[in-house]
Chains A and B, each alone.
Chain A
Amino acid sequence: MKKRGLADFFFLLLVGYLLLPVLATMLYAFASKWNKTILPEGLTLKWLSTLFQDTDFIQAFGRSVLLASGAVSIALLVIVPAIFVIVLYFPTYEKWIQMAVVMVYSFPGIILAVGLIRVYSQIGIPMILVVLGAYVVGILPYIYQGTRNSLRNIDARQLLDAAQLLGASKRQAFKKILLPTVYPGLFAGALLSFSVLFGEFVLINLVVGSRFETVQIYLMKKLSTSGHIASAVVFIYIVLMGLLTFVIAIVTKRSKGATNL
């Protein structure tokens, strides 16, 4: 009992240590004045409303959403069919995808950025497209895991065979059986990718910088001008991520309930 209490104590300490800066930042976003006191002197919505009236922020937010969702959409259109074809018809090639996945994880963003700049800056492609391309490749692991895990527990090839013998075309079989089966995993993978890209800073800052100001870059700029505004940005960011996490949790849970995953 005693031991247990001690463990709990340290656990709480750890949670506190991790959460305190987040909570403090969030609180700071609503603090009217917070200089000499332990808790803010008053609460206000001033910072948030300033933020929402700032067209720079709205635009940056829009750019972030556009960039992240663009990359995720392209990845879904390109990578998912590729994974299906490989898993179904060329299973021996799957090790190459797995290798690509490991490489994506192990490649430091800064090296990637330098490489991209050196290779592409002379060619004349807009650098933002280069970043978009890097993003598409970068979320390969999430999309791959999302699809693969759902496919692992079913014999996809045999399900397609069974559907065809019941009069379905390959397309119908794919649409009515395989897609619904992998959909929850895929959806979770897409949301996860989105949130990772939404928070990406290294690549976009080094390769494109203020020429395409995303929320992260906006935040960086605000850090030096107004701590309150920066905190408000962080607050919005955290709320957004919380929402995404919540949706992912629901989707993965439901997929366990209804289908054979």
Chain B
Amino acid sequence: MSYLVIEGLHKKYGQSTVLTNINMDIQKGEFITLLGPSGCGKSTILRIVAGLTDASAGKITIEGKDMSGVQPKDRQVGMVFQSYALFPNMTVQENVAFGLRMQKVNATDIEQRVQEMLALVHLSEKANAYPKELSGGQQQRVALARALIVRPKVLLLDEPLSALDAQIRKKLQADLRAIQRKLNMTMILVTHDQEEAMAVSDRIFVMNNGSIAQNGTPTEIYTRPDNEFIANFIGHYNVFTRQALEQMLGVTLLEHCSKFAIRPEALHLDQRDGDMCIAGIAKQSLMNGNIIRTTFDGETMFTMEQLHQQQGYSIEMGKSYKCYVAKEDVIALS
């Protein structure tokens, strides 16, 4: 049986509909990511699961128990907010201990568990500091420790890392994933960064405009996007209309759909068995880390990505090239 079930969730603010028919089925210990552009309703889902906002319709079940009418404080759902929401009048230690205090755990147990938790997030030496004396990454770790210590059934994380710089972010992503595995905690992470989603999750729910566009493992989402939105949002796919692509390939495509997607790195300049071919004039080359991204002008514009160390071709701008792609890498979009 699923651990957390969200069924037929709808949310309206006055006239405007924010969520339409959200269904999610989450197993115990799963790391779920809600991925989607700004304003698509990700935070609203989390707030409804936590009981901070009421849904217009729909049902939330945790461990088989219907959550309707259950107060936030009794749901055993933890949350980490984007802006940390640490209590400014309390030290790190007091912040982390807060949940246990509310549960009336005895003082020696609190002390011990707080120490363990601070060690887990590598903040033992900051126990007596006030939140404003900490860096953003440190504050976020306190927020995480504070939410984890009460051992919630589900931990919700609302863009916890988006305010941090890239390096700390990567580190915290890894830390977060390690902690989640260690505690076998069920987590829902909200983010609008697709790389972050790919890096940490067991399963990704991609949202668009108040509904779920696709869900699946990172590999599934990346290699088999269902529709144009996903193809564009994940991995900068080249999206072609049937007409344009058939013209470029010079063949008739069999799938019944109007659009097709090809990943930029699925294109290559050397011909392999059974490859199809599209031609275009090289317009621009940009280096992005160890990847070179070249834009071609064919029937429509498309891009190709190659690894930098892959010497051999140097692409001249303004010259026409044939780019090859395997049949199975041409993905039909619904």
Contacts and interface: CB of A to CB of B under 8 A. Distances in A.
B102 A165 contact: no
Interface of A: 154-155, 158-159, 161-169, 172, 176-177, 180-181, 258-261
A259 B130 contact: yes
Nearest to A183: B89
20 contacts: A154-B88, A158-B83, A159-B85, A161-B72, A161-B81, A161-B85, A165-B73, A165-B79, A166-B147, A166-B150, A167-B73, A167-B102, A176-B87, A176-B98, A177-B87, A177-B90, A181-B88, A181-B89, A258-B130, A260-B88
B50 interface: yes
Given A169-B73, A260-B130, A177 B85 contact: no
Contacts of B85: 155, 158-159, 161-162
Nearest to B146: A166
A168 B100 CA distance: 10
A181 B132 CA distance: 13
A158 to B, nearest CB: 5
Contact of B102 (A168, A181, A260): A168
Nearest to A255: B89
Interface of B: 50, 52, 71-73, 75, 77-79, 81, 83, 85, 87-90, 98-99, 102-103, 130-132, 146-147, 150
B141 to A, nearest CB: 15
Given A166-B102, A168-B102, A259 B89 contact: yes
B54 to A, nearest CB: 14
Contacts of B72: 161, 164-165
A261 B131 CA distance: 12
Given A166-B146, A167-B103, A169-B73, A259 B88 contact: yes
Q: Which 5 A-B pairs have the closest CB atoms?
A: A260-B88, A167-B102, A166-B99, A162-B85, A180-B89
Contacts of B81: 158, 161-162
Given A167-B99, A167-B102, A259-B130, A162 B79 contact: yes
Contacts of A166: 73, 78, 98-99, 102, 146-147, 150
Given A167-B73, A181-B89, A260-B131, A155 B98 contact: no
Contacts of A159: 85, 87
A162 B146 CA distance: 10
A177 B102 CA distance: 13
Contacts of B78: 165-166
Contacts of A258: 89, 130
B73 A260 contact: no
Contacts of B131: 260
A160 to B, nearest CB: 9
Contacts of B75: 165
A1 to B, nearest CB: 42
B146 to A, nearest CB: 7
